[in-house]
Structure 1
Amino acid sequence: MDQDFTATGEVAGDRVTVVVTGEVDMSTASAMFDAATPDGARAATLDLTGVTFFDSAAIHALVRLNERYAGEIKVITSPQVLRVLDISGLSGQPWVTAG
Protein backbone atom coordinates (compact mmCIF):
# COMPACT_ATOMS: atom_id res chain seq x y z
CA MET A 1 0.00 0.00 0.00
CA ASP A 2 1.24 3.49 -0.80
CA GLN A 3 2.78 5.03 2.31
CA ASP A 4 1.27 8.44 1.49
CA PHE A 5 -2.25 6.99 1.17
CA THR A 6 -4.81 7.45 3.94
CA ALA A 7 -8.58 7.00 4.00
CA THR A 8 -10.12 8.03 7.30
CA GLY A 9 -13.84 7.74 7.82
CA GLU A 10 -16.00 9.39 10.44
CA VAL A 11 -19.69 8.60 10.88
CA ALA A 12 -22.24 11.21 11.99
CA GLY A 13 -25.80 9.93 12.02
CA ASP A 14 -26.22 7.85 8.88
CA ARG A 15 -23.56 9.75 6.84
CA VAL A 16 -19.93 8.75 6.61
CA THR A 17 -17.36 11.39 5.71
CA VAL A 18 -14.10 10.02 4.36
CA VAL A 19 -10.97 12.11 3.93
CA VAL A 20 -8.62 10.51 1.39
CA THR A 21 -5.03 11.59 0.76
CA GLY A 22 -2.20 10.40 -1.46
CA GLU A 23 -2.47 8.01 -4.38
CA VAL A 24 -5.63 6.02 -5.02
CA ASP A 25 -4.76 3.14 -7.34
CA MET A 26 -5.30 -0.60 -7.62
CA SER A 27 -3.45 -1.19 -4.33
CA THR A 28 -5.46 1.39 -2.33
CA ALA A 29 -8.87 1.76 -4.04
CA SER A 30 -10.40 -1.07 -1.99
CA ALA A 31 -9.27 0.61 1.25
CA MET A 32 -10.99 3.82 0.11
CA PHE A 33 -14.16 1.83 -0.66
CA ASP A 34 -14.03 0.03 2.69
CA ALA A 35 -13.57 3.29 4.62
CA ALA A 36 -16.63 4.70 2.83
CA THR A 37 -18.90 1.73 3.56
CA PRO A 38 -19.15 1.24 7.32
CA ASP A 39 -22.15 -0.59 8.73
CA GLY A 40 -25.22 1.62 8.97
CA ALA A 41 -24.08 4.37 6.59
CA ARG A 42 -26.78 5.41 4.12
CA ALA A 43 -25.00 8.49 2.74
CA ALA A 44 -21.38 9.42 2.07
CA THR A 45 -19.13 12.38 1.50
CA LEU A 46 -15.68 11.73 0.04
CA ASP A 47 -13.14 14.50 0.42
CA LEU A 48 -10.57 13.79 -2.28
CA THR A 49 -8.94 17.24 -2.16
CA GLY A 50 -5.71 15.66 -0.85
CA VAL A 51 -5.52 13.00 -3.57
CA THR A 52 -2.50 13.30 -5.87
CA PHE A 53 -3.15 10.33 -8.19
CA PHE A 54 -6.39 8.61 -9.24
CA ASP A 55 -6.50 5.67 -11.66
CA SER A 56 -9.08 3.35 -13.22
CA ALA A 57 -9.34 1.20 -10.07
CA ALA A 58 -10.17 4.36 -8.13
CA ILE A 59 -12.80 5.31 -10.72
CA HIS A 60 -14.32 1.84 -10.40
CA ALA A 61 -14.48 2.19 -6.59
CA LEU A 62 -16.15 5.60 -6.99
CA VAL A 63 -18.75 4.19 -9.42
CA ARG A 64 -19.47 1.34 -6.95
CA LEU A 65 -19.90 3.87 -4.14
CA ASN A 66 -22.29 5.92 -6.29
CA GLU A 67 -24.33 2.79 -6.97
CA ARG A 68 -24.37 1.87 -3.27
CA TYR A 69 -25.44 5.31 -2.07
CA ALA A 70 -27.79 6.10 -5.02
CA GLY A 71 -28.09 9.87 -4.90
CA GLU A 72 -26.77 10.21 -1.36
CA ILE A 73 -23.10 10.68 -2.20
CA LYS A 74 -21.00 13.80 -2.56
CA VAL A 75 -17.44 13.75 -3.92
CA ILE A 76 -15.16 16.76 -3.49
CA THR A 77 -12.24 16.50 -5.88
CA SER A 78 -8.66 17.68 -6.13
CA PRO A 79 -7.58 19.12 -9.51
CA GLN A 80 -5.90 15.77 -10.33
CA VAL A 81 -9.04 13.78 -9.57
CA LEU A 82 -11.26 16.22 -11.47
CA ARG A 83 -9.02 15.88 -14.54
CA VAL A 84 -9.31 12.07 -14.43
CA LEU A 85 -13.09 12.25 -13.94
CA ASP A 86 -13.31 14.73 -16.83
CA ILE A 87 -11.43 12.34 -19.12
CA SER A 88 -13.64 9.44 -18.01
CA GLY A 89 -16.82 11.45 -18.58
CA LEU A 90 -17.85 11.52 -14.91
CA SER A 91 -16.99 15.12 -14.02
CA GLY A 92 -20.47 16.32 -14.96
CA GLN A 93 -22.22 14.03 -12.48
CA PRO A 94 -24.29 15.91 -9.88
CA TRP A 95 -22.36 14.22 -7.05
CA VAL A 96 -18.98 15.60 -8.22
CA THR A 97 -17.82 18.98 -6.86
CA ALA A 98 -14.47 20.64 -7.52
CA GLY A 99 -12.67 21.27 -4.23
Structure 2
Amino acid sequence: MATADTMLQTALREPAGKITLDLSAVTFFDSAAIHALVRLAQELPGRLTVRPSRQVRRVLEISGLGEQSWLDPA
Protein backbone atom coordinates (compact mmCIF):
# COMPACT_ATOMS: atom_id res chain seq x y z
CA MET A 1 0.00 0.00 0.00
CA ALA A 2 2.83 2.37 0.83
CA THR A 3 4.48 2.04 -2.57
CA ALA A 4 1.50 1.54 -4.93
CA ASP A 5 1.05 5.24 -5.72
CA THR A 6 4.81 5.70 -6.07
CA MET A 7 4.86 2.84 -8.60
CA LEU A 8 2.05 4.47 -10.58
CA GLN A 9 3.54 7.97 -10.54
CA THR A 10 7.02 6.73 -11.46
CA ALA A 11 5.72 4.70 -14.39
CA LEU A 12 3.74 7.69 -15.71
CA ARG A 13 6.43 10.31 -15.08
CA GLU A 14 8.13 10.15 -18.47
CA PRO A 15 6.46 9.40 -21.81
CA ALA A 16 7.38 5.98 -23.14
CA GLY A 17 6.39 3.83 -26.07
CA LYS A 18 6.21 0.72 -23.94
CA ILE A 19 6.62 0.00 -20.25
CA THR A 20 7.56 -3.31 -18.69
CA LEU A 21 6.79 -3.51 -15.01
CA ASP A 22 8.96 -6.18 -13.43
CA LEU A 23 7.22 -7.44 -10.30
CA SER A 24 9.10 -10.74 -10.26
CA ALA A 25 10.60 -10.03 -6.81
CA VAL A 26 7.36 -8.80 -5.22
CA THR A 27 6.06 -11.01 -2.41
CA PHE A 28 3.12 -8.89 -1.18
CA PHE A 29 0.49 -7.37 -3.46
CA ASP A 30 -2.61 -5.77 -1.95
CA SER A 31 -5.73 -4.00 -3.21
CA ALA A 32 -3.90 -0.66 -3.45
CA ALA A 33 -1.33 -2.27 -5.75
CA ILE A 34 -4.09 -3.87 -7.84
CA HIS A 35 -5.79 -0.49 -8.17
CA ALA A 36 -2.52 1.20 -9.21
CA LEU A 37 -1.84 -1.54 -11.75
CA VAL A 38 -5.33 -1.28 -13.26
CA ARG A 39 -4.97 2.51 -13.49
CA LEU A 40 -1.60 2.09 -15.17
CA ALA A 41 -3.08 -0.35 -17.69
CA GLN A 42 -5.85 2.18 -18.43
CA GLU A 43 -3.33 4.99 -18.90
CA LEU A 44 -1.10 2.88 -21.17
CA PRO A 45 -3.45 0.79 -23.30
CA GLY A 46 -1.49 -1.69 -25.40
CA ARG A 47 1.84 -0.39 -24.06
CA LEU A 48 2.12 -2.13 -20.69
CA THR A 49 3.64 -5.52 -19.90
CA VAL A 50 3.66 -6.83 -16.34
CA ARG A 51 6.05 -9.59 -15.28
CA PRO A 52 4.54 -10.87 -12.03
CA SER A 53 6.03 -13.00 -9.30
CA ARG A 54 4.19 -16.19 -8.42
CA GLN A 55 2.48 -14.37 -5.53
CA VAL A 56 1.42 -11.40 -7.65
CA ARG A 57 0.09 -13.69 -10.38
CA ARG A 58 -1.99 -15.58 -7.79
CA VAL A 59 -3.48 -12.35 -6.41
CA LEU A 60 -4.32 -11.18 -9.94
CA GLU A 61 -5.93 -14.53 -10.75
CA ILE A 62 -8.03 -14.45 -7.56
CA SER A 63 -9.12 -10.87 -8.34
CA GLY A 64 -10.21 -11.83 -11.86
CA LEU A 65 -7.30 -10.13 -13.63
CA GLY A 66 -5.31 -13.24 -14.51
CA GLU A 67 -6.17 -13.13 -18.21
CA GLN A 68 -5.36 -9.49 -18.96
CA SER A 69 -3.46 -8.82 -22.18
CA TRP A 70 -0.81 -6.84 -20.27
CA LEU A 71 0.06 -9.79 -18.06
CA ASP A 72 3.16 -11.67 -19.24
CA PRO A 73 2.10 -15.33 -19.66
CA ALA A 74 5.56 -16.71 -18.77
Query: TM > 0.5 between the two?
Result: yes
Match of 2:59 among 84, 88, 91: 84
The structure in which a higher percent of residues are strand is 1
Confirm or deny: 8 A CA contact 1:74 1:95 kept in the other structure.
Answer: yes
The structure in which a higher percent of residues are helix is 2
**Does 1:43 find its partner at 2:25?**
no
Q: Which has the larger radius of gyration?
A: 1
Give the TM-score taking structure 1 as reference length: 0.69
Aligned-partner SS, 2:25:
strand
Structure 2 unpaired stretches of 5+: none
**Does 1:52 find its partner at 2:27?**
yes
Structure 1 unpaired stretches of 5+: 1-25
1 or 2 for the larger relative contact order (CA 8 Å, sep ≥6)? 2
Confirm or deny: 8 A CA contact 1:82 1:98 kept in the other structure.
Answer: no
RMSD between aligned alpha carbons?
Answer: 1.3
Aligned-partner SS, 2:67:
coil
